[in-house]
Amino acid sequence: MDLTGTIDQAAEYADSARKSMAEREIPATPANFTVWYAYHSGQVPELARALEVLISNKVEFTLERNQEIYDKYFGFDGEGREIRETSARVQAAVTEVLEQLGEAGRDQSAYGDKLAGFSGKLAEVPNSEHIADLVRGILSETRQIVEKSEALENRLGQSSQQIGELRQHLEEVRREAMTDSLTGIANRKYFDATLRAAAADVMESGGDLCLLLIDIDHFKKFNDTYGHLIGDEVLRVVARKLTEGVKGRDTPARFGGEEFVVILPQTDLRDACTVAEQIRKSLASRKVQNKKTAKSYGTVTVSIGVAKFQLGEPLDALVQRADQALYCAKGQGRNRVVAETVLDSLIEVAE
């Protein structure tokens, strides 16, 4: 990403960045300076729109929020995306060069054939010995050029294959790094990155964003009774049901232990509760059974907390409200869905 310009412009952007941070009491760290320099330079339109929304809503720039902004636009995920895009561009460039070399090689081969025919004709003409020698020399040089071009084409072909394999390897590593090895769905790292991106989209484009926090009821007791192997299978069952119960841009992930999450972009609180209830019913209607022995391990139920993202809030606050709603669901007997709106009514009753 090119954030450079003329010396005067760079100085102006830097001064504006320092003033913006000072006005909002933002620590002048390298990461924060990068964010605000990019904002004033206008080189990252998505960042500029997100910051303008936060500023217009008078949102406080806490340490956590500053870090989220930097990670979103300049962190590891952005670097990984740039590596994949660069790899794709290099591969495309090499492929194009190969095509050009192939065409050039064919042209040179045809040129050599024509010269060979011309040499044969000249050799039949009296007193053409010197001319024939000259043409034979040209043919010799041409053959060398063709051979070198073919060798270069082969080397570039190998390079193109290596780049393709490298790109595939990068994608595999990325998937593995973002996938929970036990359940096969997204892991906590991928959840964090996706939630940041979804929140940024809401701040830039509007719309709703909801989060489901899901906990398997009595999972420890289930584990202690039937063993960890069966417990692992229960986790896989829940992961499959979550995957089946969502669509489009919805993202199910394992949050940790027996807890799962589902990110629901462009979904309001009512619809999010509907999705949560469908997931709950789908699991509650299924019994975990050993396919070989037909032994039943009973029904797996879950409790689900639902929360909606508030514009400009730290993402930890969203997760915390979903967790509070989940805690409320467990307190009401488990195997149920509770939205964050219920928390407000409980607070009012307590007061």
**How many angstroms separate the CA atoms of 333 and 302, rounded?**
11
The sheet that has 209-216: what strands, in order across it?
251-256, 259-265, 209-216, 302-308, 337-339
Q: What's the per-residue H, E or C state across 66-117? A: HHHHHHHHHCHHHHHHHHHHHHHHHHHHHHHHHHHHHHHHHHHHHHHHHHHH
Residues forming a β-bridge with 209: 265
Question: Which is catalytic among the residues 52, 85, 258, 313?
Answer: 258
CB burial of residue 159 (10 Å; 0-12, 13-18, 19+): middle
Neighbours of 203 (CB within 10 A): 22
- Beta-carbon contacts of 205 under 8 Å, excluding residues fewer than 6 positions away, are none
Q: Which amino acid type is present at position 313?
A: E
Cβ neighbour number for residue 52 with a 10 Å cutoff: 13
E strands in 221-317 = 251-256, 259-265, 287-289, 296-299, 302-308
Positive or negative torsion for Cα 200, 203, 204, 210 = positive
Based on the residue annotation, tell me whether 258 is a catalytic residue of this protein.
yes
| CA dist., res. 127 & res. 131, Å (int) | 9
Active site residues: 258
